[in-house]
Amino acid sequence: MSSESQPSLLHKYRGVIFSVMSSEELLGSLDSFDAREDDIFLVSYPKSGTHWLAEVIERIPNAGITLTSPVELGDISKFEELRMVPKRRVIPTHLNYEMLPVTVKQKQCKIIYIVRNPKDTAVSMFHYYRDNPNLPSTETWAAFLELFLKGDVVYGSWFDHVLSWEEHKNDKNVLFLFYEEMKKDFVKSLKKITAFLGIDVNDSEMGKIARSTSFSEMKSNAAKENCDPNHVICALTSNRNLVFRKGVVGDWINYFTPKQNRAFDELFTEKMRNSEVGRHLKE
Ligand code: A3P
């Protein structure tokens, strides 16, 4: 079914598509969110490894944190719910930079942004659209890819999202991570995270975190936990079973036709021509 025939699942706010689970009132009030100086924001475009990153941070011993649900999920009562969190808050979000609450910028809260190769992100999102009852299912990969390239999907264009955040890549309160690097050398990424958060973690604890956050471990835990409603990281579902699909780099090759690949590369080259992140993703 096309997004037009299921308008109730999605709505547009300031030109960007959101799930109706993010109420217009909440989106319109984001700037009244009261950030705390020690808040940590986990930011990503959907399907870039948000759950993985959140789990890694939750598993850091003695971090003294509480993982909350996304700042943009729910209605206006959200801010009160977040206000009640007694510990240091780790708050996930898929918001682009412009929409991030102004107090987060003013207070220079720590922000970890994770980016993933957009071809794999598109494939992952195609499956999410199909499997997630909160999203309108697209009939074919070709139809979904067209929407993705137009930015006609939840949270808008991958390019706009990444570029909006890339401008802040070198801000001292921002850490940029790549999904592919986390896959290739997990401990290197983990060391970046712990150094950024200023938390000491020894080698044995690092090994433990690596094991407990492997794809297979997380996938089987999701099945066991059976969708803990208090463990919502993505504003598009509370069902963790929908999240763990393949967890690999390069699955796009099984989906893109040569023609689709050329069209994608052309758009990528045009949009990311001045982007360091773009160059990095192409390497
Ligand atoms: P695939 O659909 O390609 O498998 P998000 O958490 O932002 O929704 O991202 C979901 C993607 O991250 C899915 O990609 C999922 O399988 C992958 N993922 C989740 N946990 C992972 C892990 N521990 N290691 C590697 N990839 C993981």
For the chain, which domains are there?
3-282 (3.40.50.300)
Ligand 1 atom index nearest CA of 44: 7
pLDDT at res. 1: 43
Residues carrying an active site annotation: 94
C-beta of 245 in contact with ligand 1 (< 6 A): yes
C-alpha 106 – ligand 1 centre gap (Å): 31
Ligand 1 atom index nearest CA of 128: 2
Q: Which of 55, 51, 40, 43 is nearest to 90 (CA)?
A: 40
C-beta of 131 in contact with ligand 1 (< 6 A): no
> What is the value of pTM for the model shown?
0.95
C-beta of 119 in contact with ligand 1 (< 6 A): no
pLDDT in tens, the chain (283 residues): 444 454 589 999 999 999 999 999 999 999 999 999 999 999 999 999 999 999 999 999 999 999 999 999 999 999 999 999 999 999 999 999 999 999 999 999 999 999 999 999 999 999 999 989 899 988 899 999 999 999 999 999 999 999 999 999 999 999 999 999 999 999 999 999 999 999 999 999 999 999 999 999 999 988 886 666 667 888 888 888 889 999 999 999 999 999 999 999 999 999 999 999 999 998 8
C-alpha 175 – ligand 1 centre gap (Å): 19
C-beta of 49 in contact with ligand 1 (< 6 A): yes
Burial of 73 (0-12, 13-18, 19+ CB in 10 A): buried
Rounded-to-integer distance, Cα 107 and Cα 64, Å: 20
pLDDT at res. 250: 97
pLDDT at res. 7: 59
C-beta of 70 in contact with ligand 1 (< 6 A): no
C-beta of 92 in contact with ligand 1 (< 6 A): no
Question: Which of 42, 52, 116, 182 to mutate to test ligand 1, by most ligand atoms within 8 A of the CB atom?
Answer: 52
